[in-house]
Amino acid sequence: MTDKDKIVEQTKAAFDFIERLYLETSYFIKQMEGLLAEEPEGFIIGRPSGYNVSTRSSTGLDTVNVRLWLRKKYSVFFVPNDKTHLERGQSITKLDPGLRVLYFRFLLHDSNVEEPMVYGGVLYHIAKKPAARWTKFEHIMNHIEYNDEKVFGNPKHIDYEDSYISFKGKLVTLNLYDINDSEAILEKLIKPSLSLYRS
């Protein structure tokens, strides 16, 4: 096998693996969605721009933007069905006082992460500042992605504030590959996250 053949084979293997990882993560999220729908609150998944994850990404050719071509971190949130409604495939979750959301974040790769991680828990005391034009929580999801290093400095006790928004949060952190079936999703991630949400 020539060097070129090896590179071609490695390229294919790398993309096959990443695609499988994305697919497995999507199945993971859909399992969470099913489990949370059965809870008394009847949680539904937030849809900021349709049925998808929120992520920071880029297609820019500047070197600093190329590293964002691959989605390495993304998040989803869930709210009780009486706190949101759907319009044209998007959810609308008003920024009312007392709003609490179940928040889950997947970190597949990052410079300070040894192995893929998942965070789960609650964001609360969500308050927009006068400078923000946001009217719903869905708008905040991208803002969180673009400020993730500041927001998640200490995921167990989030206390974030900038000129647009302030919120608090508590998240559990787990190694993603330690959660390998529906029972583990429920016991290791959903139940601890619900405990934080309900406390």
Q: Taken in order 176, 178, 184, 188, is the CA torsion positive or negative?
A: negative
Tens digits of per-residue pLDDT, 58-99? 889 998 888 888 889 999 999 999 999 999 989 999 998 899
Tens digits of per-residue pLDDT, 157-184? 999 999 999 999 999 999 999 998 999 9
Per residue, what are the HEC states of 126-193?
Answer: EEECCCCCCCEHHHHHHHHHHCHHHHCCCCCCEEEECCCEEEEEEEEEEEHHHCCCHHHHHHHHHHHH
Residue 156 predicted with pLDDT over 80: yes
Distance CA 84, CA 62 (A): 38
Which of 77, 93, 99, 90 is closest to 29 using CA atoms?
77
pLDDT at 139: 92
Which of 103, 109, 110, 116 is closest to 160 using CA atoms?
103
Distance CA 9, CA 13 (A): 6
Give pTM, 2 decimals: 0.93
